[in-house]
């Protein structure tokens, strides 16, 4: 297990591995609550739910969101993202209402509305079905859609003010890689006269994910100059 990261190197126990570019990808495990249910779970601890999101043998108990493991109609595992959790919440509410009206249950179907991710200041990538967009307009779409889905006018207003302030003041909470001209550990090739690219990651840095339009965990690596 990695126990130390320093400019130009990663430590695994006592072994030092030279690494000019160090990328950190956080994984998440399912809540231990799933194991306590005593029903089948997958390797990540997610509960293998029925197509109507109930658990085997207990039709009145539902598991949704990140804790639920369910395949889509193509046999692909539904992703652990907020839209899945939100749609499953709505679905279960609807299922309970249908139960009360003695209507038959329906299998959950995820409606993928697309994906959006910020990749820098005023830059994002977007995919809606076959339609793809990148750059400034994708970022505007990202901003607009995220504000739109916040509950309540007050929330929207507060977040808009906070984001505008961050944008104007260049205040950042979690951007780890900045595009500095110095890259510790990068071989100083005589041909390219050194390299430019990413800033070293300091474990002590504030690495919390943030919902600000300026905070991105995207990696921007500038290739060596030729
Ligand atoms: C770093 C990170 C970035 C992400 N970015 C995105 C993104 O950009 N877009 C996106 O769509 N999704 C993103 N996700 C995924 C998204 O956050 C989840 O898919 C979504 O929050 C799942 O919702 P949920 O209700 O299932 O679980 P959660 O939102 O995790 O809610 C579960 C709640 O249950 C509580 N809880 C747990 N155990 C107990 C217990 N025993 N008793 C009582 N309460 C308990 C927890 O405290 C928590 O509040 C991200 C996740 C992470 C970790």
Per-residue pLDDT at 13: 92
Higher pLDDT, 24 or 106: 106
Q: Which of 26, 65, 87 to mutate to test the pocket of ligand 1 (most atoms within 8 A of CB)?
A: 65
Question: Is the CB–ligand 1 distance for residue 65 below 6 Å?
Answer: yes
Domain spans, the chain: 32-100, 115-149
Residue nearest to atom 30 of ligand 1 (CA): 66
CATH code: domain 32-100 is: 3.50.50.60
Confidence of residue 181 (pLDDT cuts 50, 70, 90): low
Look at residue 74 and tell me whether its pLDDT is greater than 60. yes
Is-contact 202 154, C-beta < 8 A? no
Mean pLDDT of 158-181: 74
Residue with tokens 């038959």: 104
Residue nearest to atom 39 of ligand 1 (CA): 33
Higher pLDDT, 214 or 3: 3
Both structure tokens of 167: 């944008």
Question: Is the CB–ligand 1 distance for residue 213 below 6 Å?
Answer: no
Both structure tokens of 168: 């104007």
CA of residue 28 to ligand 1 center, whole Å? 10
Question: Is the CB–ligand 1 distance for residue 81 below 6 Å?
Answer: yes
CA of residue 30 to ligand 1 center, whole Å? 9
Look at residue 193 and tell me whether its pLDDT is greater than 60. no
pLDDT digits (tens, 9 = 90+) for 113-143: 888 888 888 899 999 888 999 999 999 998 8
Q: Give 1's DSSP letter.
A: -
How far, in Å, CA of 7 to CA of 22, rounded?
Answer: 9
The pLDDT mean for the chain works out to 80
CA of residue 86 to ligand 1 center, whole Å? 11
How far, in Å, CA of 141 to CA of 32, rounded?
Answer: 36
Mean pLDDT of 177-182: 61
Per-residue pLDDT at 105: 96
């Amino acid at each position: 297990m990695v126990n130390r990261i320093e400019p130009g190197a990663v430590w695994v126990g006592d072994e030092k591995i030279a690494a000019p570019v160090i990328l950190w990808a956080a994984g998440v495990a399912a809540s231990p609550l799933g194991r306590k249910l005593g029903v089948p779970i997958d390797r990540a601890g997610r509960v293998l739910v029925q197509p109507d999101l109930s658990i085997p043998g207990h039709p009145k108990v539902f598991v949704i969101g990140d804790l639920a493991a369910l395949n889509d109609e193509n046999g692909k595992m539904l992703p652990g993202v907020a839209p899945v959790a939100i749609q499953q919440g709505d679905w279960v509410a609807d299922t309970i209402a249908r139960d009360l009206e003695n209507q038959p249950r329906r299998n959950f179907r995820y409606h993928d509305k697309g994906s959006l991710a910020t990749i820098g200041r005023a830059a994002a990538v977007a995919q809606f079905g076959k339609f793809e967009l990148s750059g400034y307009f994708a970022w505007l779409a990202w901003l607009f859609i995220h504000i739109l889905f916040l509950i309540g006018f007050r929330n929207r207003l507060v977040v808009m003010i906070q984001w505008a302030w961050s944008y104007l003041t260049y205040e950042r909470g979690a951007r780890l890689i900045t595009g500095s001209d110095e890259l510790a550990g990068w071989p100083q090739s005589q041909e390219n006269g050194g390299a430019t690219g990413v800033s070293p990651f300091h474990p002590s840095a504030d690495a919390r994910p943030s919902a600000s339009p300026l905070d991105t965990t995207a990696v921007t690596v500038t290739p060596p100059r030729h």
